[in-house]
Amino acid sequence: MPELPEVQSTLNHLQAQIVGQTIQTFTARTTKLRWPIDPRLVHTLKGLKIQSISRRAKYLLLNTLLGNVVIHLGMSGSLQIVSKKSPAGKHDHIDLELNDHLLRFCDPRKFGAWLWIKNSDLKNHKLFAALGPEPLEDSFDGNCLWQMTRKKNTPIKQFLMQAKNVVGVGNIYASESLFAAKIHPLLPAHKLTHLQCQSLVHEIKTVLLAAISAGGSTLKNFITPDGKPGYFAQNHRVYGRAKQPCLNCHTTIEKINVAQRSTFFCPQCQINN
Ligand SMILES: [Zn+2]
């Protein structure tokens, strides 16, 4: 499933090829993605110039002077720039025709989304109003995490994965950053010290940036020949390593469930108090 780094890498990859281009046509070959595609998009989008592209959580926003084409990759979606003559495959559900090429959306499992949100409605839209801070912004720092966690009994791993607290820290990145910061995933959030909050925020940013930079170099292979998005082969330090020795201390890595999600940790390195 595309996580924040894949979405950011997609943005970085697309930027130069879509900003400044004008939408010629919008073609949807299905009406059913995660939410129905509004048939009015054909008329709404025609002639709009894409001023910029941005990201909020795992949503990509093609910004125009009137509003935003909001795209979510869902479970299996991917975006590609292709020539206008390129025939659409079975799972190529949407084409946005620009001046020079098509922006094509492929989504085998159809959990992705394409929406139109006017600029005036964006801030208070239900998709965005309740979202926590972006993990890579400077305002998300150790002090911010410390203040947010003071009255929270939630295990810190679960806390990190709730978008109302901070967006885009998916399951893998939560396990990896807690391992790097030497914090037990079940530690109640309010028990983190100020120093632990600083360390954890630093590690969250580090793992996300490493994944984005890996994406930047592998994105040209983003679609594999069988049509599946080729999400990055990651070098996980703890995730998926149950029963293997810890890379720091050789203690056996344990796997537990936290809020129904597989969670990996070293019982020696990651302290629970
Ligand atoms: Zn260890």
pLDDT score of 273: 74
Tokens of 170: 């998916």
Give distance in angstroms: CA of 104 to centre of ligand 1.
45
pLDDT score of 182: 98
pLDDT score of 241: 95
Distance CA 219, CA 134 (A): 23
pLDDT score of 272: 84
Instruction: Please give the average pLDDT of every successive group of 10 residues along the chain, which has 273 residues.
Output: 89 94 97 94 97 97 97 93 96 97 95 96 93 96 98 97 96 96 98 97 95 65 46 76 97 97 97 81
User: 122 Cβ partners below 8 Å, 6+ apart?
Assistant: 67, 68, 128
Distance CA 93, CA 205 (A): 34
Q: Is residue 113 a contact partner of residue 74, using CB atoms and an 8 Å limit?
A: yes
To the query of whether residue 137 is one of the catalytic residues in this protein, the response is no
How many Cβ atoms are within 10 Å of 137's Cβ, its own excluded? Answer: 11
Q: Which CA distances in Å does 222 have to 111, 213, 232?
A: 18, 14, 8
* Phi and psi, residue 253, nearest 5°: -70, 135
pLDDT score of 233: 54
Give distance in angstroms: CA of 253 to centre of ligand 1.
7
Distance CA 210, CA 188 (A): 27
Tokens of 178: 């807690």
Which DSSP state fits 219?
G
Give distance in angstroms: CA of 262 to centre of ligand 1.
18
Tokens of 193: 């010290």
Give distance in angstroms: CA of 152 to centre of ligand 1.
27
- Which residue in 58, 104, 157, 241 is the catalytic one? 58
Element spanning 95, H or E: strand 92-97
User: 177 Cβ partners below 8 Å, 6+ apart?
Assistant: 160, 169, 200, 203, 204, 206, 207
* Phi and psi, residue 56, nearest 5°: -130, 120
- Which residue in 2, 108, 135, 185 is the catalytic one? 2
Distance CA 239, CA 62 (A): 33
Give distance in angstroms: CA of 178 to centre of ligand 1.
12
Distance CA 34, CA 36 (A): 7
Distance CA 255, CA 265 (A): 7
